[in-house]
Structure 1
Amino acid sequence: MTTWIGIALAVFAALALLVLERRERFERSAAAEGAALAARAAASAPNSHRPQLDGLPAPVRRYLEVSGAGRHAPLRAAHLRHGGTFRPGLDKPWLPIRGEQWLSSAPPGFVWHGRVRAGAGLWIDARDRSVDGEGEMLVKLASTVTLQRARGAALDQGALLRLLGELAWMPTAFLDARHLRWEAIDADHARATLAVGGRAVTATFAFGPDGLMTGMSGERERDLGGGRSVKTPFHGASGDFRPVDGVLVPFHMEASWIIEGRPFPYARFEVEEVAFDGL
């Protein structure tokens, strides 16, 4: 009996080490993708296509002035870490999440790695990205068992719309006419179109009395499982703006699906640190 217990403990220890090694491997892989994105941005030509602020819709112009982005040198890359909560389904409970994200402005892109604590000793890893306009989502249980690996037009659209809203973490990118075009709506709203790699998405941005962005809304592909998706109204809220190296960026973001007129939030990120360019 003692021998079998010893063997069982040895097998358990070996499996635990294997899972931990795969956990570290998942982290290293995401970090390598993020570093490559940042290095590519650092090596890119400076943005010489910044439009004049006077030519932008009034609420966009005020936002860029208030946030400091209008007078700041173009940012090429950003890196952030966040905590928060996430729920994997609209009827699922909220779970703690920790994440790390890399953003590039040349061309606009992102790599994100998030880890959701699903229970004692159990977690789910996710890596989402939009690079050259192509999206991809990878989800693994305990960094080992692949739950989802998706690519295609629906992922391209969904990831690119996410990127458009999250450029608020690198706000000088909103002045890059190579990839982004603004259209006037009214005193508090403007429409933005982001084009990367032959793909384009459009969203409406809202701005508050203080001039800062309060959120963005658009139609985004929502995964229904089984390889199916449907375009669904989406809203990304932003708040708790704080200064980072001369610009104001949101330290709180919340993502929601709007279904039958009701908001269903599924991600609430609380940013812990942001760094630009040199990372």
Structure 2
Amino acid sequence: MQTVLALIVLGLLGLIAGQVAASRQFRARILTLAGELRKAPPTRNIEAALPPVVADFARRAGADPARPLRIASFNQHAELRLRPGGAFTKIAAWQLISLGRPGFLWDARAAGVLPRFHVLDAYVAGAGQLEARALGSIPLARETGAEIDLAEAFRYLAELPWVPDAILGNPELSWRVIGADAVEVRMKAAGGTARVRFRFDGEGDIVRMDAQGRPAKDINGQSARFDWRGRYWDYREIGARRIPARAEVGYVYPSGYEVYFRGEITGYHLSD
């Protein structure tokens, strides 16, 4: 009996050790990606090439094209829906966004003492990846390839209202006016060209986003492309920039529009 119990205990200890090692390896990979982002080139002054409404938005946010910067980082409290029609889960996230070249890293965990899952969403050196793990160690899903490259390029564009320095300083972005209160920004990715449209309110703030054909997953987990929408509100000073503290995004599924993310920024930092 004692031998059996000893074997069970040894087995459990081995399992725990394996999970701890896997969790540490996952964390080390996240930090490696963060290090790669920090090597991205700094911003360059491209203000003269921007539509005035875009440059004015970035200027009012506090961006200075004369100051080269590499990274914006911030924390989030948010809710995330993992599948269409599913329940929202509260999460805490840390994000880096490169300013002189498209790129970001989003490190999110379910809120609580014992996180139920850990999500890495990233676009680094032109390559996208999305990975989810249970308890930070047990693989649940991982996506790479041209479709995820394009999907993450869409995400980078949609989050530009949070990084006005990238608006004034990322030469890989192309802007054009498409209406009295609307502009389009686009960038090339391995899977195609990502295009996002922004709409401004009467104060000159970006309040809505929409895009066509962003790669995603349908209700059965199969690859699909859906129109994508979002909105931004609660503009205020966070750190050294005036940005929308709150935002949400969702897809237009065959059954209708559904939000899958809504969150609030709780801290904001810039580095060169």
Bucket of the pairwise TM-score, normalised by the shorter protein: 0.7 to 0.9
Determine the structure 2 residue equivalent to 1:248. Answer: 242
SS at match of 1:91: coil
Shifted more, 119-128 versus 129-138: the winner is 119-128
Is the alpha carbon distance of 1:102 and 1:61 closer, same or farther for their aligned partners in structure 2, counting shifts above 3 Å?
A: closer
Determine the structure 2 residue equivalent to 1:143. Answer: 136
Q: Tell me if the contact between 1:132 and 1:197 (Cα under 8 Å) persists in the aligned partners.
A: no
Q: Which one of 187, 193, 200 corresponds to residue 194 of structure 1? A: 187
User: Following superposition of structure 1 onto structure 2, how do residues 112-127 of structure 1 map, counting pairs within 5 Å?
Assistant: 112-116=106-110, 121=114, 123-127=116-120
Determine the structure 2 residue equivalent to 1:272. Answer: 266
Deviation at 1:97, TM superposition (A): 1.1
Q: Tell me if the contact between 1:72 and 1:172 (Cα under 8 Å) persists in the aligned partners.
A: no
Q: Which one of 90, 93, 102 corresponds to residue 87 of structure 2? A: 93
Determine the structure 1 residue equivalent to 2:58. Answer: 64
Amino acid at match of 2:246: H
Q: Tell me if the contact between 1:67 and 1:212 (Cα under 8 Å) persists in the aligned partners.
A: no
Amino acid at match of 1:218: A
- Give, in whole Å, the separation in 1 of the partners of 2:27 and 2:235: 28
Determine the structure 2 residue equivalent to 1:163. Answer: 156
Identity, in percent, stands at: 23
- Give, in whole Å, the separation in 2 of the partners of 1:239 and 1:225: 29
TM-score (norm 1): 0.83
Q: Tell me if the contact between 2:19 and 2:137 (Cα under 8 Å) persists in the aligned partners.
A: yes
Q: Tell me if the contact between 2:42 and 2:70 (Cα under 8 Å) persists in the aligned partners.
A: no
Give the RMSD, CA atoms, in angstroms. 2.9
Amino acid at match of 2:126: G
Amino acid at match of 2:15: L
Q: Tell me if the contact between 1:100 and 1:112 (Cα under 8 Å) persists in the aligned partners.
A: yes
Is the alpha carbon distance of 1:141 and 1:175 closer, same or farther for their aligned partners in structure 2, counting shifts above 3 Å?
A: same
Is the alpha carbon distance of 1:16 and 1:121 closer, same or farther for their aligned partners in structure 2, counting shifts above 3 Å?
A: farther
- Give, in whole Å, the separation in 2 of the partners of 1:86 and 1:45: 31
Q: Which one of 103, 106, 110 corresponds to residue 100 of structure 2? A: 106
Kindly provide the CA deviation profile for residues 196-245 of structure 1, in whole angstroms up to 9, marking residues without a partner as x: 56953111001122222113210211123888422211013222233245
- Give, in whole Å, the separation in 2 of the partners of 1:23 and 1:253: 30
- Give, in whole Å, the separation in 1 of the partners of 2:43 and 2:264: 31
Q: Tell me if the contact between 1:63 and 1:207 (Cα under 8 Å) persists in the aligned partners.
A: no
Unpaired runs of 5+ in structure 1? Answer: none
TM-score (norm 2): 0.85
Determine the structure 2 residue equivalent to 1:37. Answer: 37
Q: Which one of 33, 46, 51 corresponds to residue 47 of structure 2? A: 51
Unpaired runs of 5+ in structure 2? Answer: none
- Give, in whole Å, the separation in 2 of the partners of 1:250 and 1:215: 11
- Give, in whole Å, the separation in 1 of the partners of 2:55 and 2:43: 21
- Give, in whole Å, the separation in 1 of the partners of 2:191 and 2:146: 12
Determine the structure 2 residue equivalent to 1:19. Answer: 19
SS at match of 1:32: helix
Amino acid at match of 2:133: K
Deviation at 1:167, TM superposition (A): 2.5
Deviation at 1:158, TM superposition (A): 0.6
Q: Name the count of aligned residue pairs.
A: 271
- Where does structure 1 differ by over 6 angstroms across 4 or more consecutive aligned residues? none
Deviation at 1:147, TM superposition (A): 1.9
Is 2:204 aligned against 1:208? no
